[in-house]
Amino acid sequence: MTEVGENGAARNVALDVRDLAVHIGGLVALGGISFQVPFGAIVSLIGPNGAGKTTAFNVITGFMKATDGQVFFRGRDLARLSPERIAALGMVRTFQRTSLFTACTVFENVLTALHLRGRTGLLGALLRLPAMQREEAALHAEAREILDFVGLAGRADEIAGNLAYGEQRLLGLAIALAAKPTLLLLDEPAAGLNPSETESFKQLIRRVRERGATVLLVEHDMQMVMSISDQVLVLNQGRMIAAGSPAEVQRDPEVIRAYLGSGKRAAA
């Protein structure tokens, strides 16, 4: 049963999205969608190209303004918060198109992404206080640990832009993990990966969840979605057309129609 707090927000769900709408010019990118993501779950958001999945991510994480509706993260209204504030609250997203600090090394990428784990400010940096040096050592150790976790430890000194595509996707995940999300939003992490890379990415997402993070996943690979998700949300042309367990969603006639109608990728 959903427990409701003072502001009407559900407190025992990680994410509570209500009637979220985004109009871009005359286009309705999101036409008022509502859903919840329970703590500890892996929830997938699927839908044909242009359905509004990335737009939903952008609004939820503060990169775009909503036209209407509300987003609550752990019971807290995120209205008008900047992406960096939202990240500090524990909600971190990855990007559909690989996004790295390409000119920097893999290690530096993760070290930079550990920003929220450190506290050193101007004075600490200029005076190089002992506290700052201890913090640096701790951040270095943490960066190595994260690279180890995603399997990029051997590539630490490589320039990020020189990594193979699959490795770049892993680094994108490592960067997001470095911000220690309690809710991780993944935008098509397996796009462009071969089947074995996809399989190991799937295991990685499971391990992220085992470490205590909640996951909201946008993905076109139906095999992956149906095998990993506790719940699946289906978006089509900015509207939520179905929500339920993988099995329920796969049987839903409207879902089947949306996917066949779009002529792109068939469900399952």
Partner 1 sequence: MRARFGGLLFLALAATLPLWLRDPYFVAILTSTGIFIIAAISLNLLLGFTGQLSLGHAAFFGIGAYTSALLSLGFDVDIGLPSPVVVDPKPVWIAFFGAVVVSGLFGWLIGKLAFRVRGAYFVIVTISFAEVMRMVALNWVDLTEGPMALNNIPPLSVLWPGHGLTALVTKSQQYWLVLAVGVVCYFLVARMVRSRLGRALIALRENEPLARSVGVRVTHYLVVATVVSAAIAGAAGALYAHCVRIVDPDVFLFIYTVTMVIMVVTGGKGTLAGPVVGGLIFGLMPQALRGTAPPEVQWIIYGIGIILIVFFLPRGIVPAFADLARLRMPALRKPASLVR
Ligand X SMILES: Nc1ncnc2c1ncn2[C@@H]1O[C@H](COP(=O)(O)OP(=O)(O)OP(=O)(O)O)[C@@H](O)[C@H]1O
The residues that touch ligand X, with contacts defined as CB under 6 A, are 24, 27, 29, 47, 49-55, 96
When CB distances are held under 5 to 8 angstroms depending on the partner's kind, the choice from Mg ion, partner 1, ligand X, none that residue 237 binds is none
When CB distances are held under 5 to 8 angstroms depending on the partner's kind, the choice from ligand X, partner 1, Mg ion, none that residue 40 binds is none
141 CB-near residues (< 8 Å, 6+ apart): none
Residue 202, CA distances (Å) to 90, 217, 223 in order:
22, 11, 10
When CB distances are held under 5 to 8 angstroms depending on the partner's kind, the choice from Mg ion, ligand X, partner 1, none that residue 55 binds is ligand X
When CB distances are held under 5 to 8 angstroms depending on the partner's kind, the choice from partner 1, ligand X, Mg ion, none that residue 113 binds is partner 1
The helix-helix angle for 195-210 and 165-178 (nearest 10°) equals 10
176 CB-near residues (< 8 Å, 6+ apart): 92, 93, 94, 113, 184, 186
Contact predicate 231/217, CB 8 Å: no
Contact predicate 181/90, CB 8 Å: yes
164 CB-near residues (< 8 Å, 6+ apart): none
**Least distance (Å) between residue 48 CB and partner 1:** 25
**Least distance (Å) between residue 166 CB and partner 1:** 19
When CB distances are held under 5 to 8 angstroms depending on the partner's kind, the choice from Mg ion, partner 1, ligand X, none that residue 191 binds is none
Cβ nearer to partner 1, comparing 68 with 145: 145
Binding to partner 1 by residue 125, rule CB under 8 A?
Answer: yes
Taking the C-alpha atoms of residue 218 and residue 227, their distance in angstroms, rounded to an integer, is: 14
Binding to partner 1 by residue 63, rule CB under 8 A?
Answer: yes
- Residues 21-50: x where in contact with partner 1 by CB under 8 A, - otherwise, as a string: ------------------------------
The helices-and-strands tally (H runs, E runs) of the chain is 10, 10
Binding to partner 1 by residue 158, rule CB under 8 A?
Answer: yes
Count of Cβ atoms closer than 10 Å to residue 53 Cβ: 24
Helix extents (H) in 30-164: 53-60, 83-89, 106-113, 122-127, 130-150
Binding to Mg ion by residue 54, rule CB under 5 A?
Answer: yes
| Contacting residues toward partner 1, per CB under 8 A | 61, 63, 82-84, 87-88, 92-95, 99-105, 108, 111-113, 115-116, 118, 120-122, 124-126, 128, 132, 135-136, 139, 157-159, 175-176, 178-179
| Contacting residues toward Mg ion, per CB under 5 A | 53-54, 96
